[in-house]
Structure 1
Amino acid sequence: MDLYFSPMACSMATRIAAYEAGADIRFLKVDTKARPKVVEDGTAFLEVNARGQVPVLRTDDGELIFENAVILPYVADRFPASGLIPADGPERRKVQGWLSFIGSELHIGGFTVLLNPKAPDGAKAFARERLAERLAHLDAHLKGREFLQGRFSVADAYLFVMLTWARYLSLDFGPYPALTAYRERLQTRPSIARAFDEELTLFKAAA
């Protein structure tokens, strides 16, 4: 499998899942600042994904898969022994629900706006208000829980990336003690620590 990624982008969730599962995966860095965007092997990224967004996963059969909500369960299902997503039933749907919540309510509804230098101040203020509500919901949910749903899952990998962005934006986590403790626990998990260190190094090198 090949993962097209950009350092410290949401594609890091798939790197975490791959390390967690022990997957044999090749990482292809995309320069998202270049115009046009280009893959490190010289390929024009728009030829890989016309949407111009990471992550993209190329399977061993050559299929291109887009979007975290699809890629992450695919990786989990390829390596069922990892337990990154339940095989079926209500527990699987709960993990899928968290993937949807993280993607829509945190990623697109909040952080995409805050990280966009072109977003107007009013939009950023509204995004911060929405994020505060969503983070409070997560904090309440995580009280007394180690992970979002049962054991560590692809949803936790995705949420960790969002919480990393929150730290970059210096969001106040004082009101969210359970979420803060959760973030600190995840940071020490071997798959996450490895992925984070690798991507941060690449990010700093490109700055």
Structure 2
Amino acid sequence: MKLYYSPGACSLSPHIALREAGLPFTLEKVDTKTGRTESGADYASVNPKGYVPALELEDGAVLTEGAVIAQYVADLAPEAGLAAQPGNFERTRLQEVMNYIASELHKAFTPLFLPATSEDGKLAAKAQLARKLAYVESLLADGRSYILGERFTVADGYLFTVANWSGHVDVPLEAFPKLRAFLARIGARETVQSAMRAEGLIQ
């Protein structure tokens, strides 16, 4: 398998999942501004949506959308326990959290990355984002180690990836001590460190 990624983007989530699953894969960096991959290919020929991630399978099929790729990876290695098996309530709960991160938290950051967003627009986006982060904080308020309990799942890799963007867009996390502790805990995992090192995010 080949994962197309951009350093620190949402593609870090399936990257972490692949390492947690212990599956063989290669990486190809994408310059989303030029639309070219590290090897010089036109990324639109891989993923016409133009954004990362994309996972190219051995038979040439391509999966897109990070939340979907992460769950697909989890199902390829059920022994890793990255997701409950399809068809039970725990899996539905995982999908609920993954969808929230994708549709609410992830998208709430978008205006803060766009140069055209006005200062008033950024203030409004930060206020909205704070409300969504407060909800995440409430999920961690019972002292659980991970977002769904006491076992690492692909939801944790996705939340870690997205919530870490706060440092790049001047969104303070002082009001969310449980989330800050969560980010430190996930960031210390060997697989997460390996993924971030491979993307050039840490030394």
Q: 1:128 to 1:149 in 2, by over 3 A?
A: same
Instruction: State the SS of the aligned residue for 2:40.
Output: coil
Find the aligned partners of 1:122 and 1:90 in 2 and give their Cα distance. 41
CA drift at 1:69 = 2.1
Mapping for residues 59-98 of structure 1, pairs under 5 Å: 59-88=57-86, 89-98=88-97
Find the aligned partners of 1:8 and 1:29 in 2 and give their Cα distance. 11
CA drift at 1:170 = 3.0
CA drift at 1:15 = 0.9
Unmatched segments (≥5 aa) in structure 2: none
From 135, 138, 160, the equivalent of 1:137 is 135
From 37, 52, 65, the equivalent of 1:39 is 37
Find the aligned partners of 1:121 and 1:106 in 2 and give their Cα distance. 20
Find the aligned partners of 1:62 and 1:111 in 2 and give their Cα distance. 32
More displaced 10-residue stretch of structure 1: 178-187 or 116-125 = 116-125
- Contact kept, 8 Å, 2:4 with 2:53, in 1: the verdict is yes
| % same residue | 38
CA drift at 1:100 = 0.6
Instruction: State the SS of the aligned residue for 2:55.
Output: strand
- Contact kept, 8 Å, 2:67 with 2:158, in 1: the verdict is no
CA drift at 1:120 = 2.5
Find the aligned partners of 1:176 and 1:185 in 2 and give their Cα distance. 14
What residue is the counterpart of 1:4 in the other structure? 4
Instruction: State the SS of the aligned residue for 2:199.
Output: helix
Find the aligned partners of 1:165 and 1:112 in 2 and give their Cα distance. 10
Q: 1:201 to 1:130 in 2, by over 3 A?
A: closer
In the comparison of the two structures, how many residue pairs are matched? 200
Cα shift readout 1:57-92 (whole Å, capped 9, x = no counterpart):
011221111101211110110111111110031100
Find the aligned partners of 2:37 and 2:16 in 1 and give their Cα distance. 21
CA drift at 1:201 = 4.3
Letter in 1 for 2:165: W
Q: 1:5 to 1:140 in 2, by over 3 A?
A: same
Letter in 2 for 1:102: I
Cα shift readout 1:85-121 (whole Å, capped 9, x = no counterpart):
100311001111111101111111x111111112223
Question: 1:28 and 2:15 equivalent?
Answer: no
Extract structure 1 runs of 4+ deviating beyond 3 A: none
What is the TM-score when the length of structure 1 is the normalising length? 0.92
Find the aligned partners of 1:199 and 1:168 in 2 and give their Cα distance. 16
